[in-house]
Amino acid sequence: MLRSAMRQPSTSPSPALSPSPLPSSPPSPLPYTPKVSFDTFENPVASMFSFTLSAKSSSYRRTRSTRVFLCAASPDETGNEALDWALESLVQDGDEFVVCRGVDEDELGAKDHDVLRDEARKLMRRIQDKASEVDPERKVSLILEYVPGRITDTLDRLIALYRPDSVVVGTRGRKAWQNIGKGPMGSVSRYVLIHSPVPIIVVRPERKVKKAVQKRKADPKRGIHFD
C-alpha cells in the first residue's frame, strides 16, 4: 500500500502490522446525472422564458444513430399516457428524449417561481423513475423544457431547436393549452398535426381505446371483420 511505502526508514525493529481492513465498496453510480441547463424565469427580456432540466445516463454518448423525440406532456391523463408510452415503446438505447410541459402565463404570474422550479424537478424525477423502471440498462439523455406561454408557439420553437425525428402528443391538452379552438382531439394535437414539419404520433389513453373497441363491437351494423 502507498501508506507503508512512504514511511521514513527506521533503525528500530518494525512492529508487527495488523491486517488493514478491506476498503469499502464505492457507492453505486446514480442512473442519471441531473443538471439545470437553462433558467430564464426571472429574465423578462429573454427570447423564450423557460426552465430546462437535463439528465443523462452515466455512460450515455451521443452518436450519429442517436434519435431525438419530443413529447408534449400536458399535466392530464392524455399527457401522462403520451409520456409513458414514449418511454415504454419508442425511446431506445442511445436516444434523446425531450419533454415539453407548458405553464399557463397566469400561473407564472401568480405562483412563486421557486414553486414552479420544484414542480419541474418533481416531473423530471418522475421521468427518470419511469425510464429506469422500463429499462435500467438503457442509456438515454432526458431533457425537460418547462415553458410558460402558448404551447403551440413553444412547440414550434422546440421543434426548430431540437430537430426531433418525431413528436409525441396526447389526444387533448389542458384548458391552458387549448388556444386554437375546440374538438375531440384537442387543439394542440390538431395544430401539431397540421403544422409540424416532422412526423407526429398521437397517443390515445388505454381507457378510451378499450371504450371505443367495446362500442364498436356492440354496434349491430359493424362488419364481421371486427370479430
**What are the CA-CA distances from residue 116 to residues 4, 11, 49, 53 (Å)?**
54, 68, 13, 12
Dmax (CA) for the chain in angstroms is 104
**Section 7-17 average pLDDT:** 47
Residue 14 lies in a domain: no
Beta-strand runs (E) in 58-149 = 68-72, 96-103, 141-148
CATH number of the structural domain spanning residue 66: 3.40.50.620
What is the average per-residue pLDDT within 110-126? 88
What is the residue range of 120's domain? 48-173+184-208
Question: Any idea of the CA torsion for 160, 164, 166, 170, to the nearest 10 degrees?
Answer: -70
Say which DSSP state 130 is in.
Answer: H
pTM over 0.85: no
Q: How far apart are CA 120 and CA 117, in angstroms?
A: 5
Please report whether residue 13 resides in a domain. Answer: no
Compute the average pLDDT of residues 63-83.
93
Mean pLDDT, the chain, whole residue set: 74
- What's the pLDDT band for 182 if we cut at 50, 70, 90? very low
Number of domains in the chain: 1
